[in-house]
Structure 1
Amino acid sequence: MLKKLFSPAIIRPALVTIPVAVAIGSMVALFLWLLNWAIHFRFQHNWLLYLLPAAGIVIHLLYKWYGGSSEKGNNLIIDEIHQPGAGVPKRMAPLILATTVITHLFGGSAGREGTAVQIGGSLANLFAGWFKLNDHDKQMLLTAGIAAGFGAVFGTPLTGFIFALEVLTVGRFKYEAWLPCLIAGFVGDYTVSAWGVMHTPYHIGNIPGGYAFYGHAFNANVLLLLKTIPAAALFGLTSYAFAKSAHVVKDTFNKLIKISWLIPICGGLIIIALTFLIGKPDYLSLGVSPEYPGAITIVSAFQQGGADLFSWLWKLVYTVITLGTGFKGGEVTPLFYIGATLGNTLAGLLNAPVSLFAGLGFIAVFAGATKTPLACTVMGIELFGINFVLFYALACFVAYLCSGKVGIYSAQRRK
């Protein structure tokens, strides 16, 4: 068994993974720095939102002229791992980095995981060519690229490791890539830290009902565990609504508007109109840093009164319109926002601790949308601590079961 786990077929791509993960971590660090700059620059220049339709045209033309197969995004990388074909274009990494920063600079509601994963896949494919790897080793390196990108962008190396193994095929792990992915997740994360880029901290408060097990504190409040089940079911249904809406919005715009460059213009105008309708900019961009004191963010959702009743729904609408009309970025950070604000709302309805249910929504909506409940359980441990691991697992797996077969990655296979 050990001989199989540490065979040359695994060790060889694992060694190549180290310089690849350093390169990915460095580029993700640059991306995070640029993204932070873009978001805060828009905070200081609110008029940039009015240029969102024009920014959409720029993004559309960049992909039309230079994108090629890069337009498929994360799904292209997953397809290449399942069945090697033409490869992942070298231009994917700089193109997705630039267009994601443009999206956020002008207020589009998107995330950053898609960008990091595409950076990881593009650089991994580039290194695979330089090292003249065969198809099998290239598949493993691409999988490790996902782990490095994901672990680096969120500061969750173990989650990146498991996510890369779990996301490819629903209900099945790609075990043979375990060592390259483990190395990639940690090296990518350490590289970002070495560049001095910091991640947002989240905290779940102390809640009665704990017990000690081999020196570790765990919470097993039975009443809270029972309340977690209906909340997790709603998290799963929200995951389904997000994934389904994203596909429907994209298909609807493509059918109704035959001139392709008009689609991002319409999307940008809708985002501007919604912001006027709501009267505040809280659902624009990433949703992590507050634009003004009292703004609704992922962080504020962990506090009493830190979200409105339908904050989660507004963020869902903003994001599916942004991404469905051609703007670039990931879905995961908006899913964190949707889940945390929905958890905040449900905590009030169920008389449950706000910070706990915000944290559960944070990881559970993500689990349902990506079909990665184990990775999301581990993410809960890495971000919030191990005390509530029973709640993380229950919420993520119930949400996964209630989220249906539709996910945000169409290239995922089923066992």
Structure 2
Amino acid sequence: MGTQPPENHSTAKDERSAREKAIDDWLPITSSRNAKWWYSAFHNVTAMVGAGVLSLPYAMSELGWGPGIAVLIISWVVTLYTLWQMVEMHEMVPGKRFDRYHELGQHAFGEKLGLWIVVPQQLIVEVGVNIVYMVTGGKSLKKFHDVICDGKCKDIKLTYFIMIFASVHFVLSQLPNFNSISGVSLAAAVMSLSYSTIAWGASVDKGKLQDVDYHLRATTTPGKVFGFFGALGDVAFAYAGHNVVLEIQATIPSTPEKPSKKPMWKGVIVAYIVVALCYFPVALIGYWAFGNKVDDNILITLNNPKWLIALANMMVVIHVIGSYQIYAMPVFDMIETVLVKKLGFPPGLTLRLISRTVYVALTMFIAITFPFFGGLLGFFGGFAFAPTTYFVSSHQSIYAFHFHL
């Protein structure tokens, strides 16, 4: 009495599985799995080589030659290792793919604890980066305008440039998944290498300042301590690509014979070579040329030639357009997952249009309200960028391999 035939249970289960598969096929992270290895290369370059590279000479001025070089090299090696761990863990359970950072966290730490450990930090990183890039994009547009006009044009407030930059994202944010933004990401990756080359090339051309000073920027002990930790945060921000690596790998096809980790790792190696070509010359040559007089954005220190600085700033704009989309896509995935799976909204174009437009508008509003948001990078670097980049993946590896396998 009151029991349902087994076939009814089976039918209901099949319907639920079919619905979940349909939702997964619609969500941005899992909707397309036909990416090539070079997609992962330029996605990772775009995610990692952000405008933060331009602040590395400033970080060097807070650290000094010895500690600065050590931090750069150690960060490159450690983050490459932790990224390798994540690539390996993507398919550590036979027949299952951890397509999202929090899914791996849940496997390692448990369903609820994994969410609480990973999701807040991941959101801080991704939303924080999006806000910073709103500000950076607006500032670079303004710098481009000011350099080109050379005082002959009417001064335009930063607010309007941020709004212009955001207008691009109201359109691009409607692209459904990672593979659909591959062209934008490729352009961004090329731009990052280009403006990094301009930054260190122009520094070489300008040469070392006559009164260059390599002493630490701060003169007091508290100032040196805060400067040191702020610089560590800036470096952590520069290596923040781990937050989207599993989501990028999720776009690569995988079979037992050809697991996704092989093409993904190939792309990562290429990306890290590009990272080294961008980071080390900019940091070391920029500091060599200007010492502790370097600005927090080396393009500001380099005032001439004007056409080259204008070009570099426009390259930064193009790059952060791509970077914004790379970091926004996992956030879109989280938002749409909650709306569809938890709140029961039907998946479709209308939901995507509204949710993504609201998100872009929110990041734009915060960027306009707090244009000094980039000054908080040191804090965010220490609070969220460093854990998710340097050691959360190692903890996940320990827990996953030793307690679950």
TM-score, length of structure 1 as denominator length? 0.27
More helix by share: 2
Higher relative contact order (CA 8 A, sep 6+): 2
Bigger radius of gyration among the two: 2
TM-score, length basis structure 2:
0.27
